[in-house]
C-alpha cells in the first residue's frame, strides 16, 4: 500500500483532525436533519449515519435501509456536509454511491470476513473510479492486526487510494471498563507498518458510554491519530441503537473544543535526551529477558534429565503472587504485571519445551 492519498475535501484539510460525527443510525428524516444541523453547527464537516445496521441479536433495529439515503442527501445539500455510511454488501456500495455518499466505511463485523470485504472491493473496482472514492476500514471485532491489514489491502487492490483505518477497539469476554478494548498497540503497530494510512479513532464504540468519549478521544490525539469518528444524536436517550454512547451535538461541540491537539512533528532537545534514555532502558530490558531465558533453558535441561514436568503450577502461582505484590509497590499496574509475567513465563515454557 505504497500510494495512499490523504483524505481531504474542499474545506477539510490535512492540517486539522479529520472529524466525522452523526447518529449511530439514521432513524427518521427529522432525526437526520436535526442532528445534521447540530453537527454542522459544532463545526463538523463529515456527517456519519448508519443506514444498514449489523446487529448482534436478531429483532433489533436493523436500520431504515435505502430510503434513509435520501435524508443524508438532503442533509448534505442543506448543511453543506459530506456524508458517510457503512456498507457491507455489493448492493450497499451501489446504493450508497448512487445517492452521492462521500465516504464509505466497512464495519467491524464485516472487516473480519474476507469474503464480504472482497465483495465490497469488487463492487468498488466495478465503478471504474475507485481511485476517487474514500473508504475507511474499521478494525475487525477480533484483535487480529493481519486481518485488518488484509481488509485494507483488498480495498487498496481494488484501486482505492483515499483509504483510512478506524480503530474502534476489540471484543473481549466478560466484565470490562470499555465496550471494546482499545489495545492501542495494535493501531500503533499498524501505523508503524503503514505510516501513510490515516488512523481515525472511534471513541463511541470503544467506550460504549458517553463519559468515556472525551478521555479516549484525548488519548487518541496524544498518540497523534489523524481524526475521530463520534456518534452524535439530537436525542440520545431515545436513540434506536447504541443510545448509551451517543451524545448531543452540543456535547460534541464542547468535547471537540476542549481536546488538546499535540504536535507530532515537534522534537525538542529534552525529548531526544529522554528518548535516548528510554532506548537504553529497552536495550537493558531485552538483554535481561534474554539472560532469563538462557537460565530457563538450563532449568529445562535439568528438568528433562530428572523427568520433571516443564510447568509446575504451584511454583508459577507463588512466583506470580510475589511479583505482582512487588510490582504494585513499584507503582506498576496489577493487570500490566500479570500480563508481562504471563508472557515471560509462556516464552520460558516454550523455550524449555523446544530444547
The residues that touch ligand PEP, with contacts defined as CB under 6 A, are 24, 50, 86, 107-109, 138, 168, 205
What, of Mn ion, ligand PEP, none, does residue 168 touch, CB below 5 to 8 Å by kind?
ligand PEP
Interface pick for Mn ion out of 4, 19, 20, 24 (rule CB under 5 A): 24
- Binding segment for Mn ion (CB under 5 A), chosen from 19-27, 35-43, 276-284, 291-299, is 19-27
Nearer to ligand PEP, 161 or 168 (CB): 168
Nearer to ligand PEP, 154 or 168 (CB): 168
Q: How far is CA 315 from CA 81, 210, 298, 320, 322, in A?
A: 62, 44, 17, 9, 11
What's the start-to-end Cα distance of the chain, in Å?
A: 39
Q: How far is CA 344 from CA 126, 235, 278, 339, 349, in A?
A: 49, 49, 20, 9, 9
Is 152 a residue that touches Mn ion (CB under 5 A)? no
Nearer to ligand PEP, 154 or 300 (CB): 154
Number of Cβ atoms within 10 Å of the Cβ of 203: 27
Is 202 a residue that touches Mn ion (CB under 5 A)? no
Shortest separation between residue 22's beta carbon and Mn ion, angstroms: 10
Nearer to Mn ion, 24 or 133 (CB): 24
Cell of 333: 499496574
Backbone phi, psi, residue 8, to 5°: -130, 150
Nearer to ligand PEP, 56 or 270 (CB): 56
Is 242 a residue that touches Mn ion (CB under 5 A)? yes
**Among 80, 69, 82, 86, residue whose Cα is nearest residue 32:** 69
Q: Is-contact 6 14, C-beta < 8 A?
A: yes
Crossing angle for the helix pair 334-353 and 313-329, nearest 10 degrees?
Answer: 140
Beta strand segments in the chain, E: 18-22, 46-48, 82-86, 103-106, 134-138, 162-167, 199-201, 227-231
Shortest separation between residue 24's beta carbon and Mn ion, angstroms: 3
What, of Mn ion, ligand PEP, none, does residue 107 touch, CB below 5 to 8 Å by kind?
ligand PEP
Residue at shortest CB range from Mn ion: 24
The residue count for binding Mn ion (CB under 5 A) is 2
Nearer to ligand PEP, 206 or 337 (CB): 206
Q: What distance in Å separates the CA atoms of residue 205 and residue 187, rounded to the nearest whole number?
A: 15
Which residues sit at the interface with Mn ion, rule CB under 5 A? 24, 242
Amino acid at each position: 500500500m505504497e500510494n495512499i492519498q490523504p483524505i481531504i475535501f474542499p474545506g477539510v484539510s490535512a492540517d486539522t483532525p479529520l472529524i466525522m460525527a452523526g447518529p449511530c443510525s439514521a432513524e427518521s428524516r427529522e432525526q437526520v436533519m436535526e442532528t445534521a444541523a447540530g453537527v454542522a453547527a459544532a463545526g463538523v464537516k463529515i456527517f456519519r449515519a448508519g443506514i444498514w445496521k449489523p446487529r448482534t441479536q436478531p429483532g433489533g433495529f436493523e436500520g431504515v435501509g435505502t430510503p434513509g439515503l435520501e435524508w443524508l442527501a438532503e442533509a448534505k445539500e442543506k448543511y453543506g456536509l459530506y456524508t458517510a455510511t457503512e456498507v457491507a454488501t455489493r448492493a450497499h456500495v451501489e446504493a450508497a454511491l448512487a445517492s452521492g455518499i462521500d465516504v464509505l466505511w466497512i464495519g467491524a463485523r464485516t472487516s473480519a470476513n474476507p469474503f464480504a470485504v472482497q465483495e465490497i472491493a469488487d463492487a468498488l473496482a466495478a465503478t471504474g473510479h475507485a481511485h476517487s472514492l474514500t473508504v475507511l476500514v474499521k478494525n475487525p471485532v477480533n484483535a487480529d492486526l493481519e486481518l485488518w491489514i488484509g481488509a485494507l489491502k483488498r480495498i487498496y487492490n481494488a484501486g482505492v487510494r483515499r483509504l483510512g483505518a478506524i480503530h474502534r477497539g476489540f471484543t473481549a469476554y466478560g466484565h470490562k471498563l470499555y465496550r471494546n478494548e482499545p489495545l492501542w498497540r495494535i493501531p500503533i503497530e499498524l501505523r508503524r507498518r503503514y505510516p501513510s494510512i490515516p488512523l481515525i479513532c472511534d471513541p463511541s464504540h470503544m467506550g460504549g458510554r458517553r463519559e468515556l468519549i472525551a478521555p479516549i478521544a484525548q488519548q487518541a490525539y496524544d498518540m497523534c491519530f489523524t481524526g475521530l469518528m463520534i456518534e452524535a444524536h439530537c436525542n440520545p436517550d431515545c436513540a434506536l441503537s447504541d443510545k448509551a454512547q451517543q451524545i448531543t451535538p452540543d456535547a460534541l461541540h464542547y468535547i471537540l473544543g476542549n481536546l488538546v491537539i499535540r504536535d507530532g512533528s515537534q522534537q525538542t532537545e529534552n525529548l531526544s535526551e529522554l528518548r535516548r534514555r528510554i532506548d537504553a532502558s529497552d536495550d537493558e530490558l531485552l538483554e535481561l529477558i534474554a539472560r532469563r531465558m538462557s537460565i530457563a533453558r538450563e532449568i529445562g535441561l535439568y528438568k528433562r534429565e530428572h523427568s520433571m514436568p516443564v510447568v509446575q503450577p504451584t511454583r508459577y502461582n507463588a512466583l506470580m503472587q510475589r511479583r505482582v505484590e512487588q510490582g504494585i509497590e513499584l507503582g506498576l499496574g496489577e493487570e500490566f504485571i500479570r500480563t508481562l509475567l504471563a508472557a515471560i513465563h509462556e516464552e520460558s515454557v516454550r523455550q524449555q519445551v523446544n530444547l
